[in-house]
Structure 1
Amino acid sequence: MADFDVIISGAGPAGCTAALALGSSGLNVALIEKERFPREKVCGDAIPAYVPKVLATINPSYRVALEGIEDKKPVSLCRYVAPDRTALDITFRENGMVCRRSVFDSFLLDLASRLDNLTVITGTPIKDVRPGSKGFAVSTGNGDELTAKLLIGCDGSAGVSKRILAPYRHEPSEGSVAVRAYFSGIKDNPPETLEFHFLKQLLPGYFWIFPLPGNEFNAGIGMPSAVVSSGKINLRDLMMKIIETDPVIGPRFSTASMKGDIKGYNLPLFTRKRKISGERFMLCGDAASLVNPATGAGIGQAMQSGRYAGWQAAECFRENDFSVEFMKSYDLTLYGKLWRSNRNYMIIRNLVLKNPVVLNLASRAGNSNRFIRKELAEKL
């Protein structure tokens, strides 16, 4: 049986960032991931501009390393297309990027793997987590038995960590479903632009087209789970119907080639504050349900949660305090950082994105009034 100070379950952006945040702690850390890297992760692949800053707060060299990734596409503009096809272009204050998750996640894992205090175990899932008075006993799929004084769960909304340590029921209104595929040869693309097409039949969801290097694109649709379920909607069929028949989008795909299959995924939306910590554990990323309820973005929030969890874990060992009360510092820090802006996104989703008339008016107003466009840019 191998003994660790900290076990991190899941090596996505949240888990790897937590490991990086513990890099100078002197603690013995294990990072366990069910997949072998590089692995594909179904996602829109858009990475917000503040992600390099998150890495820089841990170690400035990590930001430099991220900037050195070649297989990424900078994005400087966001185009919102209203149901009446009025387009509103908003320039980012700082450039973001689009990078395939297979590339981005492998970069983060490679960065974490260089840490002297980290043991990386990939290709095996965590099968069981058993809490005890002095920590956790963890069983993996390959038969290993591990122990740790503290556990950071970053293994997703359906992962073992959340299911055992903080089980809660997701209401249908608290999730979204998305499908995406990779394409080459889409036509008439504005340079360095994230496109959101708010088609009436998708509201409050949207059709997206995000650029990738080499004239390739990540395109897909996302809709609330409740709408998909109640309407018995097949998102893959709906996506192909839009590509083939929509009068604006269709011609742009007329000579495009799809690379691989359309793949789907569920998004646990950040709709309320939940239990994300307890005695000797914290949850991060999708395990903490931190996906933006309006845009579907989750990478940035996941990395922020991983950073705060890593820092909180180090503080627990410094103070030798793993109690429920002490762990609540993590909840307070994370929600203090994210909740206010997230609440604004919920308002946008409920009052704007569900209403085609309001979306049309907002797009026209943004085009005609610089002040309104600035306000929309700050909110969106």
Structure 2
Amino acid sequence: MIMREQILEVLERYDKENIRIGAIGSHSALDIADGAKEEGFKTLIVSQKGRHRTYAHYFKEKRTKDGLTKGFIDEVIILEKFAKIIEIQEELRRKNVIFVPNRSFVVYTGIDKVENEFLIPLFGSRNLLRSEERSEEKSYYWLLEKAGLPYPEKIENPKDINELVIVKLPHAKKRLERGFFTAASYKEFREKAERLIKLGIITKEDLAKARIEKYIIGPVFNFDFFYSPIDEEIELLGIDWRFETSLDGHVRLPAHQQLTLPEHQFEPEYTVCGHASSTLRESLLEKVFDMAEKYVEATQKYYPPGIIGPFTLQTALDKDLNFYIYDVAPRTGGGTNIHMAMGHPYGNALWRKSMSTGRRIALEIKRAVELDELEKVVT
């Protein structure tokens, strides 16, 4: 693991008056760059050839014929593969880049390289990124248990399935995506697994390591939080929920129509393809803040210095209004692009101005520079 002291040595050579905020061109890069621009920072996006035009053309800052400015991305570095970001570290350091990690960055670069080779100041908690891997011994489930937080009950043996469960494993081909499926009995589990393996959606190897947990029937809420090491305070910035293929198409079909689907369409897939904004009944917010407080305290105890900046608690709410945390993002969440340019009701109301996750990150970096406390917000 790259030590914080090594990162602080890098920071000592930075021109603090010319900090750039950088991110991988995927996932939540638009929100990160938009927010950075709002707070006056230059923005740098590292993209992959074939996926670069969004950043290098459509949202690149430029002048119109009549002298107007549009766009908010100052510079784009285009690589053959995202993973080659390891090879341009010297350039990033020369440009005084503080990098904001997202899930795409971790997946495409590789968690080992992020921890041991990426010698660039990260805004956030480098050591917590590995907790997102479900196969790790000290995954976010381990952390939730230590924190005394509610999460869906795990089923150790598929033969013990006697009510609806969800089986969590990666997609066979789209490794960033999910190969999830549901089952209410061991027989259904076995039949669905065999069908999905045959269709090339999951593999036997991944199935053997899958996490099986009781399915919480109810709406899902992703709570986009921010922890400020400067103020030592938790902020709720926004709430989002997901659009998933082909699940969302299935639920719009009558039950009798679902039963007539051919084999290759029969099992819904859970690939996240978009997000929508949400709010929550106010009487439930106390429970939400309680969960966030326990999570932050646990990260500080078991993963010092603890969470820095954005994190998302992904929850399902049952019929008795009990929350269950089924996933944790110890970095900026996947749904924060719904905040960009206009913020979110909670963040906006708290700060009395447009406050997206991206802008909140930039504001914390800006304050850390002004207060000479950058060491508090990077790892």
TM above 0.5, one fold? no
Q: TM-score, normalised by structure 1?
A: 0.36
Q: TM-score, normalised by structure 2?
A: 0.36
